[in-house]
Amino acid sequence: MNIPEIIQYWLKSAEDDWPIVGRLFASSDFHYALFFGHLYVEKLLKALIAQATSEHAPRTHNLLILADRAGMQLNDEKRQQLIRITAYNLETRYPEDRSALRLRYTQSFTAQEIDVIEEIASWLKSQIHPE
């Protein structure tokens, strides 16, 4: 794949994941909704890396590493948001106590975090300019 195809691949993959977030939220699978929210942001960042570097993105799920590789300028708020969103990948994938996770990821909490994910994603998408 050439670079524009790689960018399109990540964008399409991200857009395919976004409706899953809503379906998982609607079915009260809040921790998985946040997991897919993380994937959504991760894939947008990988599109930005391809755009910025003309290379494939590294194989990592750490959003701060990906944002750095993409050359993103992050203020403290965005940095903290990416740290939180990255945790949803790890906490959901490798939960030590699934019942505690379910207590923490309430409907209200998850709705607020999905709003943050959507805000970050909108900001990222505004910087992607596929050819």
Domain over 3-125 is classified CATH 1.20.120.330:
yes
131 pLDDT more than 80:
no
Q: Which residue has the higher pLDDT, 78 or 100?
A: 78
130 pLDDT more than 80:
no
What is the distance between the alpha carbons of residues 29 and 95, in angstroms, rounded to a whole number? 14
